[in-house]
Structure formats: structure tokens, C-alpha cells
Amino acid sequence: MAAPDPKPSVTRIELPVDTRAPVGTTNAYLAGGLLVDPAARTDALDAAIGVAGAGGDETGKTAVEAIAVTHTHPDHVGAVAEYADLTGAPVIAHADHVDRFTAATGVDPDETFRDGDRVGDTPVRAVETPGHAPDHVAFAVGSIGGDSEDADGGAVDGTPRELFCGDLAVAEGSVVVGAPDGDLRDYLDSLERVRKTGYDRLYPGHGPAIDDPNVVCQRLIDHRLDRERAVLDAVEAGASDVEGAVDGAYEKDLTGVADLARATVVAHLEKLLAEGRIGREWAGRIERDPPVK
């Protein structure tokens, strides 16, 4: 069997960012010329991509051929504009979410992508994975099709498949899927899509790489279904508003995370309502809260 094409190496740079993710940092990645999630400007990221640290002057060639984000939450986009200026690289956004992208980053994208497209001139492809946020995408290195006939252009059997998965998954714990940005049905579908594709490794937006994607995706799916069961139990036990459902669905002390718990429960109630598993009266009880990261 012929040797697979060499895959681009992956560089991870951990950035100190105001995030509610437990690790307190956001990961930027560089692979195949694509800079993913430049959430803050740091010397380490400057060095990784080859821009001058001092003075911020443009010194010509850098390792960056395109800039994109997994989604537009504030803890992923902070230095998009700055690195676009520094590198001169095109900024590329999902075609369906350009306005949201511009509002979050202050940058009008130079190009757009859709599901399965290469991102600019890089070998990295976009994989729609909504749920954590409506504009959430992941970026795949190597073949992304589950079937060989999908594996067009550059995809080689045997190529390790790796995915920059943003806030779809984390190695430990779970990510927030909360109203109004979060959609649990989309989130579960996205996890299932990634699990089925069979990536060799996931690179999340927060924390270390995930070397057992199948196990972690299944754990995250099970976690959501367990929480859904708890919310449904709370409703069936007589909860008549969101507060009651939160109280019933969580046993732990929610000090400091009450807003996240509430947003999570609302997202579960929205799913249950859409599926006809709780009464229509819940439509009026679900109040929309401000977005959480």
C-alpha cells in the first residue's frame, strides 16, 4: 500500500482568556496554514506563526495562510482582527453566519466556506457541528467522509483523521449547551456525526487533546441524556417553571454556575417541547436568557 500523504503537523498554543471553561485557557491551533481560534495575542502565538513580537510590524511571510474560528463566542475570537492585520492572511467564515462573525470579531470575512469545503487554500476542511452555538464548525485534517466516495481531493485512505473540534467536546467534564445559543438536538447530532466518522484524535478548544474520540463522544452523549432524564423527571414530579426544573434536575450546589445550569435546563426543556415530551404550556414558561459562553 502506498504511503499516505504527509499530514500537516499540528501546533497547539494555549492562550490565557477570560473563559468559563474550567481550564481557564483557550487553545489556538495551527495546521496546514490554518490558524484556528486566535483568542488572544501572545508572544507564544506570535512565535508559532512567525510574526515579529515587537512593534507588531509586518515582516513578510508567516506560517498563516488563512484564519478561521470554530464559533464566535467571545473566548474564541479576541485576536482575529489583530492576527489578520499582522499576517495579511484571509479571514474565512461560515457562509451562513457572516453577520454574526463580523459582529463578534470586527472583521468582514474575505471568504466563506460551507460544510465539507476546504478553508481557503489550506488542506483543512470545515465540518458543520452546530449545537454548542448555531455557527459552530470543526476543522478536519485528512479524510472527513465516512465513506470513501466522499473522500475527494487530497483525502487518502489511511491518513490519520484529526479534528479541531472547538467546544463540541472536552477530554474531561462537559461543555455548556445552553439557551439561547445552544441547541441540544443539534449538539447530539453533531457528537454522533463526529463519533461515526471515526477520527483518530480531537483537538478541543479547551484542555488537552482527546485520543479516544469514540469513548469521549459517547460519554458526552450519555451525559446529555442523563441530564435530560433528570429534567423530565423534575417536570413529571410536578415542576411548573424553569426554577423548579433546575432545582429538580441538579443535586449539587449551583453557586457560581446558576446561570449556566438555568440555560442548560432551558435548552433541555426546548428539546423536550420540540419532541412533544412535555406539555405545550412549557412554551410560555421558557424564558429566554442572555447568551452564555
CA dihedral 11, 216, 178, 106 (to 10 degrees): 10
The set of cell numbers assigned to 202 is: 480531537
Span from 70-78, 91-99, 117-125, 259-267 in contact with Zn ion (CB under 5 A): 70-78
CB of 278 to Zn ion, least distance (A): 27
Q: Which is nearer to Zn ion, 41 or 71 (CB)?
A: 71
SS3 for 59? Answer: coil
Beta bridge partner(s), residue 236: none
* Short-list 105, 129, 101, CA closest to 115: 129
CB of 123 to Zn ion, least distance (A): 25
Q: Which is nearer to Zn ion, 32 or 204 (CB)?
A: 204
Q: Does 186 bind Zn ion (CB under 5 A)?
A: no
Residue of 41, 73, 224, 262 that binds Zn ion (CB under 5 A): 73
CA dihedral 114, 118, 119, 121 (to 10 degrees): -140
What is the number of the residue whose Cβ is closest to Zn ion? 73
3-state secondary structure 207-221: CCCECCHHHHHHHHH
Contact 169, 202 (CB under 8 A): yes
The set of cell numbers assigned to 265 is: 435546563
Q: Which is nearer to Zn ion, 125 or 206 (CB)?
A: 206
- Give the C-alpha distances (Å, rounded to integers) separating 124 from 34, 103, 127, 170: 7, 25, 10, 21
Residue of 167, 183, 186, 270 that binds Zn ion (CB under 5 A): 167
Q: Which is nearer to Zn ion, 73 or 161 (CB)?
A: 73
Span from 79-87, 151-159, 161-169, 240-248 in contact with Zn ion (CB under 5 A): 161-169
Q: Which is nearer to Zn ion, 123 or 130 (CB)?
A: 130
Span from 26-34, 68-76, 210-218, 246-254 in contact with Zn ion (CB under 5 A): 68-76
Span from 30-38, 67-75, 118-126, 258-266 in contact with Zn ion (CB under 5 A): 67-75
Q: In the complex, which residues of this chain contact Zn ion (CB under 5 A)?
A: 73, 167
